[in-house]
Structure 1
Amino acid sequence: MMDFFQDARSDGSGRVSLRHLAGRDQDEFLGLVGASAELHRPWVSLPSTPEQFQDYVRRYARPDEESLLVCVRGSGEIAGVINVNSIIRGRFQSGSVTYAAFAPSAGKGYMREGLALVVRYAFEQLRLHRLEAQIQPGNYASIELVRRVGFRSEGYSPELLYIDGAWRDHERWAITNTMIDVAPTPPHPTLPER
């Protein structure tokens, strides 16, 4: 397993690591999606067939998309998935995060540690300036997750995203690389000088 960061804590006590989603994850991923259907509805829709999974893997092979698995240290069990979508370069240097915990390991804090790692990865490795999360107002667990990682509330957008057959209202949350202590990195080459 390829770790991007050993853990989210400086003392090495983190319980999860990250790795890119790959075709070899199909059986485990689809099994976890099936076991998590009630947890995910109506908040998120993940691939549930081999064909959908292969399309998902192809999507996240593009340079403006990243799909990272949150894996439990020791067992390697997949606890969740966090995606950095719609990466826009140039003056924006931003991406949008989406995520889902899987039922067998939900509620254990793995996603909080995983999201903190993804934030660091996005700022230090991808050299983004900003990450956004759009969350349906009734998804209290998701709102609490981003709040605990350091995202700030930036507003409310009616009918923002099409999910589960309807246009859904969303709260907008964001974090920038100036809001947390990240390793200094040179700006991404697409960032204009002025």
Structure 2
Amino acid sequence: MGRPQRVTLRRITSLDQDEFLERVHASTDLFGPRMPLPATPEAFQAFLGRFDEGQSADGLLICLRDTDVIVGNVNINSIIRGRFQSASLGYAAFEPYAGRGYMSEGLGLVLRHAFEELRLHRLEAQIQPDNQASIKLVQRLGFRNEGYSPDLLFIDGAWRGHERWAVTNDMAGLVPDAPHPTLPAH
């Protein structure tokens, strides 16, 4: 029997605004321009508007099980159905909780949610090569490096190259009982 989970996963809501903004402000040195999260109430409300509970994007929070304190943020972005059944991940740990293994546990729950509940086949993470903490995180979770794309994402005023990391539901051992209804039979 494995270690009990220290974290839970839940969808972000408007009720999270104040705590989320506090965590973002406390963590700007941690992720800097790499993960541009909303820093004002207006930006937070716009951020929430991107999510539609797993239809095209899903906004999730990693929270401490005992206190429900927010320790990290995960976005399942650009969900594409049909023959692709794929999405991109964006994530950030918050201070003072970074470096304690909460993101590893939380992203493990995200994989279960994405593969079993959303019934996706593949998740991708685009990571800047100097972000070694993020690379180690996805490696721990079984993602494979699929190469480097120059000028992939526009971050902090410039196009930035990223390593592309991916994991499939069969690689993670989380194949759903039935495929998503939008997957063609042939």
Asked if Structure 1 and Structure 2 have the same fold, meaning a TM-score greater than 0.5 normalized by the shorter chain, the answer is: yes
Amino acid paired to 1:42:
P
In structure 2, which of residues 117, 123, 134 is the aligned counterpart of residue 125 of structure 1? 117
- TM-score, scaled relative to structure 2: 0.96
Amino acid paired to 2:40:
T
Give distance in 1, aligned partners of 2:177 and 2:30.
38
Residue 9 (structure 2) pairs with residue 46 (structure 1): no
- TM-score, scaled relative to structure 1: 0.93
Q: Could you say which residue in structure 1 is the equivalent of 2:156?
A: 164
Amino acid paired to 1:180:
A
Verify the 8 A CA contact 2:104 2:141 in the aligned structure 1: yes
Unpaired segments ≥5 residues, structure 2: none
Give distance in 2, aligned partners of 1:93 and 1:152.
18
Residue 184 (structure 2) pairs with residue 177 (structure 1): no
Give distance in 2, aligned partners of 1:25 and 1:16.
16
Give distance in 1, aligned partners of 2:176 and 2:38.
36
Verify the 8 A CA contact 2:169 2:175 in the aligned structure 1: no
Query: Matched residue of 1:104: which SS?
Result: coil
For the aligned residue pairs, the C-alpha RMSD in angstroms reads 1.1
Q: Could you say which residue in structure 1 is the equivalent of 2:9?
A: 18
* Superposition misfits of 4+ residues, deviation over 4 angstroms: none
**1:40 to partner: Cα distance:** 1.3
Give the % identical residues: 59
Unpaired segments ≥5 residues, structure 1: 1-9
Q: Could you say which residue in structure 2 is the equivalent of 1:68?
A: 60
**Matched positions, count:** 185
Query: Matched residue of 2:134: which SS?
Result: helix
Q: Could you say which residue in structure 1 is the equivalent of 2:97?
A: 105
Amino acid paired to 1:139:
N
Which is worse superposed, 62-71 or 150-159? 62-71
**1:183 to partner: Cα distance:** 5.4
Amino acid paired to 1:48:
A
**1:131 to partner: Cα distance:** 0.2
Verify the 8 A CA contact 2:119 2:176 in the aligned structure 1: no
Verify the 8 A CA contact 2:115 2:176 in the aligned structure 1: no
Residue 70 (structure 2) pairs with residue 78 (structure 1): yes
Query: Matched residue of 2:113: which SS?
Result: helix
Q: Could you say which residue in structure 1 is the equivalent of 2:134?
A: 142
Give distance in 1, aligned partners of 2:35 and 2:176.
34
Give distance in 2, aligned partners of 1:172 and 1:183.
22
